[in-house]
Amino acid sequence: MASVVAIMTCDYFLLTRGNVFLSHAYDPSSSNRHYYYTRGWNIQAIIAYLCGVALPFPGFVGTLGASVSVPAQRLGNLGWMLSFTVSFVMYYGICKVWPTQNQKMVKRMGLRFEEMADREVMVVAGEVEEYGMGDVEMSVEGEGRREKGGAFGGEKGMRTAVNSSGM
């Protein structure tokens, strides 16, 4: 668990600088240029995860009753902090050498910290389409009306979209 939290924290705060592409976050198709990664797997995150889990693993095995050395037990006692730190540093290092497609796009676009909160960018067939707040009309499916606002139709448009989807 600590490794997953570390990877997500590193990616959000350091590598993509808080820029989340919401229109792509729930798209599992292979055409998703932001979050599909390599055949659906973020290889960089898997490597960092395995490195973070490997160090305290002997100590964890010792808690199950197996006989392990005292240093292994101590590594197990530091498990959460050790896993977090190792995964964080490994993911950062790996992604600096071998960045994900999303990290490349954020860097290429020159986005500052959480700049996507003010605009929505969609990548369609490799072309970047940018929408600022108030520039997009959102069509709510099944109701035949349009809401003006940001990329998500503003607060009222979001409520309408959520209500129409049955959530």
Structure pTM? 0.70
Q: Which amino acid is present at 89? A: V
Average pLDDT over residues 138-154: 40
pLDDT of residue 158: 39
- CB atoms closer than 10 angstroms to residue 135: 13
Under DSSP, is residue 109 helix (H, G, I), strand (E, B) or coil? helix
CA separation, residue 143 to residues 39, 71, 100, 139 (Å): 36, 64, 38, 8
- For 32-60, how does the pLDDT look when each residue is reduced to its tens digit (9 = 90+)? 989 999 989 999 999 999 999 999 999 99
Q: Which residues, 6+ apart, have CB-to-CB distance to 49 below 8 Å?
A: 3, 4, 7, 87
- For 60-71, how does the pLDDT look when each residue is reduced to its tens digit (9 = 90+)? 999 899 999 999
pLDDT of residue 121: 54
Is the pLDDT at 157 greater than 70, yes or no? Answer: no
Average pLDDT over residues 8-27: 93
Residue 167: pLDDT band by 50, 70, 90 thresholds? very low
Q: Which amino acid is present at 21? A: F
**Average pLDDT value over all residues in the chain:** 78
pLDDT of residue 70: 92
